[in-house]
Amino acid sequence: MFKLLSVLQKNLVWSIPISMVFGLLFGYLFDASALKSFIIPVTFIMVYPMMVTLNVKGIFKGGDYKLQVTTQIINFILIPIVAYFTGKFFFAGGPEKYVLWGVGLFLIGVLPTSGMTISWTGFAKGNKEAAIKMVVFGLVLGSLAAPIYTKLVMGTTIDVNVLHMFKQVALFVFVPLVAGLITQSVLKRKYGEKTWNQQIKPKFPPFSAFGVVLIAFVAMSLKAKNIIANPGDIVTILVPLIVFYLASYVLLTITGKLFFKRGDAIAMVFGVVMRDLSIALAIAMTAFGKQGLTIALLISLAYVVQIQSAAWYVKFVGRFFGEAEKPTVPQSSIESVDADTALSGKPETGEPMVPTIRKILFATDLSETARHAVRYACSIGNRYDAGVTVLHVIPDLLEQLEAEAGADLTNRAGEEGTASYNEAEIEAARQTIQKRVTQTSRLITKEIPSCPLDNGEILVKVGSPADNIIETVATGDYDMVVMGTHGHGLLEESLIGSVANEVIQRSTKPVLVVRMPG
């Protein structure tokens, strides 16, 4: 079953048109009126999986205000204008169905943006975290704007039940959003972050694709007899849809190329073009009464244009914005590995080489070098969608003093007194450093919004730094260690230098050691 759903997801370019053809045949041969009762549950199946996989942390990171504001200005001002005048140009002066198709096109224009934004941004190697925020902000703002826009602009030609429309938006946006976030939280707590990311999370998007295919089938089935009786309607609808999407791509490509870097520009393009057709379709079929079926026909055909155009845009995105840069991994004390090869786990020969990077341990001594090294941890984590955990080890005071003095201080001071003093000092240091590491982590995520630091999992341990790093890597199943080469004083420089060497020698996982420039 899951394999079949995965095939549907990977081949939406073909599965949606095929579904529409089957819906057309079914609706022509049989009475499809009973399918109306499936609209709400099928729409939930379509929207809910997208909400489950949202990256909540990525939503609240700042640093890309210009990109987000520009995207939403285009979404709620320019695109509705393009949709409105395209509809006016192609559908003016015709019968009632023309007016309704104009409403459908305008509804598409005021309901950004779908969860597919994230997927297509990923396919084109754009900024996925920015795309996530565009999805959430666009859905919320669009859900509030759509009823008002539609009533103000189309209210003179069609009766719009604004209150009912708000209820539909709540049903198809906010209910799945809350349910999805609760599901994500429960599954993460029960199975852990790694199992969630690698095994559970990938199973949800195919169900969303299944919902898209089903809703397209239902929409075509309910309008089959009218379509077959008037085949020219398909051409009449497809032409303005193609014009609308083409104008959107041209506007966004020019804006992205002029004002934003590659990854952000790609996120903006798909953050606008990938309209939330699923919610538009559900609203059309539930908020407009019998007239909604006519509107739904245009929205159903928009699926074909939107997905086909996105697939072709990904093929040519390199020509518009240039090819994606390969991540530059600095020379480490172990070896230099091609990043894309490391991600796939296989060299060009196809033989296993390096495991996939999903968890990174960043060992810090809170020095300037460590603050420089964390940028590499963030860069690699962001590139491979890997979580970064911060570890700080407080050296045992007694062991450190004995090592520096070259003498057994326990015998001189008394074991009980020394132990009591040592434990008290270490606990005080641990509490202070825990706060300092937490504050440092928050500053890092504020300075580097794309950094996947897990602020909820900051480790502060006591004892031998090398022993604790090696033990943490093994018990936490980390795929990589990132650390600096020295500290901020003579004692720390000597200590951390030896720690780095010992970790390199003993670690069974790759160790990236970063030197301070100059």
Give the tens place of pLDDT for each residue, 83-108. Answer: 999 999 999 877 888 888 988 898 88
Give the tens place of pLDDT for each residue, 67-80. Answer: 999 999 998 899 99
The mean pLDDT value for 358-384 works out to 82
Helix (H, G, I), strand (E, B) or coil at 289: coil
The mean pLDDT value for 440-448 works out to 70
pLDDT score of 245: 96
pLDDT score of 255: 95
How far is C-alpha 345 from the chain's CA centre? 23
Which residues, in sequence order, are CB contacts of 434 under 8 Å at separation 6+? 458, 460
pLDDT score of 408: 55
Share of the chain above pLDDT 70, in %: 70
CATH T-level assignment (fold) for domain 339-514: Rossmann fold (3.40.50)
**How far is 124 from 209, CA to CA, in rounded Å?**
19
β-strand 511-514 against 387-394: which pairing, if any? unpaired
pTM of the model: 0.52
Give the tens place of pLDDT for each residue, 100-134. Answer: 898 889 888 887 676 667 767 777 778 877 887 78
Q: Is the pLDDT of residue 256 over 80?
A: yes
3-state secondary structure 102-164: HHHHHHHHCCCCCCHHHHHHHHCCCCHHHHHHHHHHHHHHHHHHHHHHHHHHHCCCCCCCHHH
How are the residues of the chain apportioned to helix, strand and coil, as percentages rounded to the nearest 5?
70, 5, 20
Q: Is the pLDDT of residue 251 over 90?
A: yes
Q: Where does the pLDDT of residue 491 fall: very low under 50, low under 70, confident under 90, or very high at 90 and above?
A: very low
Alpha helix stretches (DSSP H) within 274-384: 277-287, 291-321, 339-344, 368-383
Cα 271–272–275 angle (5° rounding)?
A: 100
Helix (H, G, I), strand (E, B) or coil at 82: helix
Q: Where does the pLDDT of residue 59 fall: very low under 50, low under 70, confident under 90, or very high at 90 and above?
A: low
Domain 55-204+235-321 sits in CATH 1.10.287.110 = no
Q: Is the pLDDT of residue 249 over 90?
A: yes
Share of the chain above pLDDT 90, in %: 12
pLDDT score of 352: 46
Q: Where does the pLDDT of residue 37 fall: very low under 50, low under 70, confident under 90, or very high at 90 and above?
A: confident
Domain ranges in the chain are 55-204+235-321, 339-514
**How far is 202 from 188, CA to CA, in rounded Å?**
13
Closest residue by Cα to residue 501 from 466, 469, 460: 466
Residue at 304: amino acid letter: V
pLDDT score of 346: 45
Among 37-51, 133-147, 271-285, 296-310, the least confident range: 133-147
Residue 30 DSSP one-character state? S
**How far is 284 from 282, CA to CA, in rounded Å?**
5
The mean pLDDT value for 479-503 works out to 67
| Token pair belonging to 206 | 């195919």
Closest residue by Cα to residue 287 from 138, 152, 172: 172
pLDDT score of 378: 85
**How far is 114 from 134, CA to CA, in rounded Å?**
9
Helix (H, G, I), strand (E, B) or coil at 517: coil
Q: Is the pLDDT of residue 339 over 70?
A: no
Q: Where does the pLDDT of residue 422 fall: very low under 50, low under 70, confident under 90, or very high at 90 and above?
A: low
| Phi and psi angles of residue 94, each rounded to the nearest 5 degrees, phi first | -100, -170
pLDDT score of 137: 77
The mean pLDDT value for 190-196 works out to 82
Q: Where does the pLDDT of residue 26 fall: very low under 50, low under 70, confident under 90, or very high at 90 and above?
A: very high
The mean pLDDT value for 272-292 works out to 77
Q: Which residue has the higher pLDDT, 492 or 71?
A: 71
The mean pLDDT value for 180-185 works out to 89
The mean pLDDT value for 147-155 works out to 67
The mean pLDDT value for 376-400 works out to 78
Q: Is the pLDDT of residue 247 over 90?
A: yes
